[in-house]
Amino acid sequence: IRESATLTRDVLEQHFNDLKGTLKKLLDERLMSLLQEVDAIEQESIKPLDECQKLIEHGVSTADDLLREGESAVHGDVGQQNEKLCSFTKKALHIQLDSLPEVPSLVDVPCLSAQLDDCLLTILKNQIFRHGTVASRPPVQLEEFVEKPGGILVRWCKVDDDFIPQDYRLQYRKSTASHFEDVYVGSETEFIVLHIDPNVDYQFRVCARGDGRQEWSPWSVPQIGCTTLVPHEWTTGLEGYSLSSRRNIALRNDSQSCGVLYSKAPTYFCGQTLTFRQVLSGIETVGQPDRRDSLGVCVEQQNGYDSLQRDKAVCISTNGAVFVNGKEMTNQLPAVTSGSTVTFDMEAVQLGPSSNEGGNFKLRVTISSNNREVVFDWVLDQCCVSLYFGCSFSYPGWKVLVF
């Protein structure tokens, strides 16, 4: 409680300090804009009046000079009177003292004033007093963490019966990091977070957006999850395949070389779920299918084969056919296409002496593809604690993510 209360105080103080700075900046910008508008109107309106005033002042000054000259001519010496009067008369005839420049009427002269609506303060006051809430119980909480090879399956649930969620938002961070980052936004209530380092703690949190709402709910209580399982990786060096930097994605390239691409190590254990997902390659489509194509698991790596359709292996081809120890089963699954997900689940069902089927170790295998599944027993002559996985494609364009 104390930790979340301290964090909430920090968030509130930071948010309102940011609001203060933003509001001051906006008010300063608006004030500057209005002052500039006053300056522009003043300069535009005063210019013709200034010019008119200069003409009037010039005319008054000229008339004043002429008046003084006339007075001097009248009161001067008799000998100079005629000459001065003649000069005065000549100037008086050339100066127009009976006209004035056009002066705008008073109603046409701008009179500036500031129009300020005091209701803005009321509106701001009402908005501010309604801004922000403090929630003590988020409507969604994290429910479960399931270890995956190089990943964690995170599940969450709604805990507020009155809350109708539209979308969920999941974030995570390493415990040593300072900021969370989005890893999933959508309507599902679980998500597999990949690219997780084994034996490293990660913090997770989730929130939701109500139906028809834009804002997100408060975050759930952060919880720590980790995985002890090393990530699945394809082995490097096979000419026909290009791998991603984390070696969990294999792309069948244009090379004419063919063969089975195996996992780097036997990292698949009974009781786990192994998932292959067909993703789009750069050409935005999947490769051409072939009956030898295969996705599956095997007891050991065996070079020299161009498919997993062999002994000590179970697989599915891209056309949906299922093979056990090289034999095709009668049950058929949907074809593998762009975006398809194929999963393998296995559990040991027999340990002990040899059975009538000739084996002493039996695995119950469930293969699922596009919401359909087949279940069968895989009989082996030896106990297998861990298995390899593999794939083979005859044509370029196939791109498979494994996790």
Q: At what angle do helices 2-75 and 78-94 cross, to 10 degrees?
A: 140
Domains 140-225 and 241-402 in one fold: no
- In angstroms, rounded to a whole number, what is the distance separating the alpha carbons of residues 35 and 403? 64
pLDDT at residue 67, as a whole number = 82
The tens digit of pLDDT for each residue in 94-114 reads 776 666 666 667 777 778 888
Average of per-residue pLDDT across 318-342: 92
Which residues does residue 243 pair with via DSSP β-bridges, in sequence order?
250
Question: Contact, 400 vs 379, CB < 8 A?
Answer: no
pLDDT at 295 over 90: yes
Per CATH, the number for 241-402 is 2.60.120.920
The tens digit of pLDDT for each residue in 342-389 reads 999 999 886 555 444 445 789 999 999 988 999 999 988 888 888 999
* C-alpha of 365 from chain center: 39
Question: Contact, 165 vs 209, CB < 8 A?
Answer: yes
Task: For the chain, give every domain's residue range.
Answer: 1-130, 140-225, 241-402
Q: Above pLDDT 70, what percent of the chain?
A: 92
Higher pLDDT, 182 or 82: 182
pLDDT at residue 283, as a whole number = 44
DSSP letter for 263, please.
B
pLDDT at residue 354, as a whole number = 47
φ, ψ at 82 (rounded to 5°): -60, -40
pLDDT category at 261 given cuts 50, 70, 90 is very high
pLDDT at residue 356, as a whole number = 46
pLDDT at 19 over 80: yes
pLDDT at residue 76, as a whole number = 65
In whole numbers, what is the pLDDT of the chain averaged over residues?
Answer: 87
Per CATH, the number for 140-225 is 2.60.40.10
Coil vs helix vs strand at 28: helix
pLDDT at 53 over 90: no
φ, ψ at 51 (rounded to 5°): -65, -40
pLDDT category at 44 given cuts 50, 70, 90 is confident
